[in-house]
Structure 1
Amino acid sequence: MEMPKSSLTGELEVEVEIKAPAEKFYEIYAGRPHHVAKATPRNVQACDLHDGDWGIVGSVIVWNYVHDGKAKVAKEIVEAVEPEKRLVMFRVVEGDIMEEFKSFLITIQVTPKQGGPESVVKVHFDYEKIDENVVHPETLIPFFVEMFKEIDEHLLSEE
């Protein structure tokens, strides 16, 4: 018998079409996430490497960002870097998000669109809330959509 999923767990996902090539977008998250702050300074103020190396599983990254008008911090461990799938996965281990969630996993994957230079970026959140009173993190969806669009514009301006 399959146990029903707890109402404390959840998943959210959104896809964003971008004009930049998938490889370039993937590379900014996998290999140089500190450049995200340059591309979208209103959303992300800093991304610092605290342990390991950029683009290496097990590395620890700290993000300073503004969400819902408030300055926030997230400490993340790089869980997966899969160049062949253009996928990178971050597990949030400390920071503002962990005040409301027992676990929070962010997966970003970029796929080239058929027949053109455009791409699709998908962000997927897999999480467990600390209790029933915590709302699902839907407000992170427009935050990531805006961030992806600004990164896209930044990448296109680099060419």
Structure 2
Amino acid sequence: MSLVGKVEADVEIKAPAENFHELFSCRPHHISNVSPGKIQGCALHEGDWGKEGSVIFWDYVHDGKAKVAKQIIEAIDEKNNSITFKVIEGDLLQEYKSLKATVKATPKGEGSLVHWTMEYEKLNESIPEPNSLLQFVLDLSKDLDSHLTQA
């Protein structure tokens, strides 16, 4: 069994890809207002919102437990509406040596297709793949869609 892997999934939303991407890349600190049951806070530790190299600190609830994560924005692609975060501190590093998440929103019909990819290295073989974390971000994407389509 490999310690290195990748999980990915798609979720269809009604909001335009550009709006979804802009919320995640430039205004992630608004996400706690949109989905307070999942995200309690998002703070900028270094850099500027929406800029590569910026460091963001998240307070969130996953699997019923309050958790934290510090991420660096590794890449933002405005043309393709994608952003890549790398976890550099927090609860996830108790199970994973590394975890990188990429979210890409692609226009589809009147809405968008949001594709999440998580690349990881587990600390040992007993650690599960991050499938519940993947489901968490898919559910979060639906919450953001509801907000964006109401606005």
* Shorter-chain TM-score range: over 0.9
CA distance in 2, matches of 1:24, 1:101: 31
1:156: which partner in 2?
149
CA distance in 1, matches of 2:136, 2:72: 20
Task: Provide, for residues 80-110 of structure 1, a one-character-per-residue CA deviation record: whole Å limited to 9, x for no partner.
Answer: 0000010000000000000111110000000
TM-score scaled by structure 1? Answer: 0.93
Task: Provide, for residues 20-79 of structure 1, a one-character-per-residue CA deviation record: whole Å limited to 9, x for no partner.
Answer: 000000000111111111111100011100000001111000000000000000000000
The total of aligned residue pairs comes to 151
Residue 131 of structure 2 aligns to a residue whose secondary structure is coil
Residue 98 of structure 1 aligns to a residue whose secondary structure is helix
Residue 139 of structure 1 aligns to a residue whose secondary structure is helix
1:120: which partner in 2?
113
Counterpart of 1:152, as a letter, is D
1:31: which partner in 2?
26
| Consecutive unaligned residues in structure 2, runs of 5 or more | none
Distance apart, 1:141 and its partner CA: 2.2
1:78 paired to 2:51: no
1:1-150 equivalences under 5 Å are 7-113=2-108, 116-150=109-143
For the 8 Å contact 2:72–2:88, the answer to whether it is kept is yes
Give the greater-gyration-radius structure (CA).
Answer: 1
For the 8 Å contact 2:34–2:143, the answer to whether it is kept is yes
CA distance in 2, matches of 1:83, 1:117: 19
TM-score scaled by structure 2? Answer: 0.97
CA distance in 2, matches of 1:120, 1:38: 23
Question: Runs ≥4 in structure 1, deviation > 3 angstroms?
Answer: none
Please report the RMSD computed on the Cα atoms of aligned residues, expressed in angstroms.
0.9
